[in-house]
Structure formats: structure tokens, C-alpha cells
Amino acid sequence: MMPNYRSIFRAELFVGHVAIVTGGGSGIGRCTAHELASLGARVAIVGRTVEKLESVKAEIEAGGGTCSMHGADIRDEAAVEATVAAILEAHGHIDSLVNNAGGQFPSPLAAISAKGWDAVVRNNLTGGFLMARECVNQWMLEENAQGAANGGAIVNIIADMWGGMPGMGHSGAARAGMLNLTETAALEWAPVRVNAVAPGWIASTGLDRYPPEMAETIRGMRALVPLRRLGTESEVAAAIVFLLSPAAAFVSGACLRVDGAAPNAKRIWPEVGTGGTTEAFDGFHLASTPRVLKDR
């Protein structure tokens, strides 16, 4: 029998709940989709690479979960409109959206072309806005039989961009924009709750997509974190699940950092922590160590 996701949340917490996870074919999105499905949610995963979505759908169903897959480029407005409509057709309603899809490439600002800048901003900001807008317009702010909004919850995944994001300024600008969008949407779209999660340096398979010349930088990141390690995909997923849960019913417009206090390291205080760490939480039964971090 296939092992199940070891969530810290109670079993069946999300029974009857429909959750969309963009970028659900890999990394944090894949992990979050698994956790939500393990808690009873019907999950709709969205992404550009159909083969990855098919693989995650098969994993979730092998564990007894329910998952639909929807191939789409979230940067394409018409595709987003059609995708949200298809999810509603398949599941009947939408309770939550995890805006996780995104991506970037390393480059100093002076070397980023307009095309490269636009691609990253559309990936990390515009696409998330389009997904959220369509979930809100097509379902969450629609009136139900009682004359009230259907409601729902949105979690936007951003990044550790405090103090700038040298080497990835395009991504930092987009992520900062998504935080501001989160705060605005929490006001304009209430009672829909809109929050953000900002992962720091996470030991996700996404680390293997960076060029080989970044390998030593990636391996050295843990020394810059006060908790002296990288985070796990499960630790980010748990933060997302909390913000989607009834326990966060009065939380909106907030940003939850999952970064081991890395942004709090200061040049005027050269010690980065005391050398100790916390025990990592890793509930994802299919998690794997990124190749760049193995044997280190």
C-alpha cells in the first residue's frame, strides 16, 4: 500500500473543499496539492507541462485522493478564463486558490532584456492576478442562494525579497508587487480572504533548474540562515494549508514568512544564529533531496 502524506492537520479537514494549485506539477505546488488531497480536498492542478501534471495526478490518485489536471499558461488571459471555467464545470465550486506558479532566471539587472523582464513579471505577478481575478469573478464573489458571496481563500506564493533581490531583480520586483496586490485584494475582495506565503531558501527540486555555476552558492545558503538549514517543501505547504483552513478565518492581508529568519541576518551582527538549528518537518512521503544538495 502506498504511504500517505503525514500532515500535522486533522484528517478530513478539507472534505468537500475544492482547491486549485497552480504550478502543481513540481516542487512546492506538487507538495501542497498532495497535502490538500490527503486532507480530503478535491484538487485541481494547473501548469504548462502536461506530463508533469499527469504524473502528480497519478500520485495523488494512487494515494486515494481526488485530482483533476488543467494544462494552461497562466500568462494567457483567455487561457486562464477558460481554465477556471473548466474547473468549475468539473467540480461545481472553488473554495481556494494557491497561486504558486512562477519562475525566474539569474541575471544582474543591467543584463536583463525587456523580453526577459516581461516574461518573469508575467510569470510571477500578472499570471497570479489573472488566476485570482477569475476565481473571484467566476465564483468567490458570486451570490449564493442566501444572497451572500460564496467566499473563499487565496494564498499567493511570493519569496524572500526584503531588502532587494540581487541577481534576480525582475523576480524581486514581481514578488513585491504580488505582496502589494495581496494587501489590496484583501480589502477589495472581502469576504474572500487573501494572504501571502513567502518561502525563503527551500530544499525543493526547483534548485536543480539553476545553472551549474550557481551550485556552490546554493550549497552555501544554509550558512546565511539563522536556523542553519534550508526549509522543506512540507514546511511551506503547512503554512499554506493553515491560511486556507478555518483556523485562519480572521486572517487576511497578511504575509507569512517561511525562511528560518534569513532576512533578519544583519551585517552589523556578524553571527548568523548560534550554530544550532530546529528539526525539519518533512511530511511529504514523495519528497526527494535536490541533486545540487546531495552528498554535502
What is each CA distance from 233 to 85, 96, 116, 202, 213, in whole angstroms?
29, 19, 27, 7, 24
What pLDDT score does 295 carry? 58
**Is 164 part of any domain?**
yes
Strand duo 66-71 + 42-47: pairing: parallel
What is each CA distance from 247 to 9, 83, 213, in whole angstroms?
11, 29, 43
Residue 99 pairs with which residues in a beta bridge? 156
DSSP 169: H
**Is 126 part of any domain?**
yes
Element (H, E) at 66: strand 66-71
Per-residue pLDDT in tens (0 to 9) along the chain, 296 residues? 457 899 999 999 999 999 999 999 999 999 999 999 999 999 999 999 999 999 999 999 999 999 999 999 999 999 999 999 999 999 999 999 999 999 888 899 999 999 999 999 999 999 999 999 999 999 999 999 899 999 999 999 999 999 999 999 999 999 999 999 999 999 999 999 999 999 999 998 888 888 888 888 889 899 999 999 999 999 999 999 999 999 999 999 999 999 999 999 988 898 999 999 999 999 999 998 988 888 55
Residues near 213 by beta carbon (within 8 Å), at least 6 away in sequence: none
Strand duo 18-22 + 153-157: pairing: unpaired
Residue with cell 514581481: 174
**Is 268 part of any domain?**
yes
Number of domains in the chain: 1
What pLDDT score does 2 carry? 58
Q: Write out the residue range of the structural domain in which residue 22 sits.
A: 18-277+287-293
**Is 13 part of any domain?**
no
Residues near 239 by beta carbon (within 8 Å), at least 6 away in sequence: 197, 256, 258
| Cis check: omega of the bond before 191, within 30 degrees of 0 | yes
Please report, for the domain that includes residue 222, its CATH number: 3.40.50.720
- Please state the pTM of the whole predicted model: 0.95
**Is 282 part of any domain?**
no
Q: How many residues does the chain have?
A: 296
**Is 5 part of any domain?**
no
**116 SS3 class:** helix
**Is 202 part of any domain?**
yes
**Is 117 part of any domain?**
yes
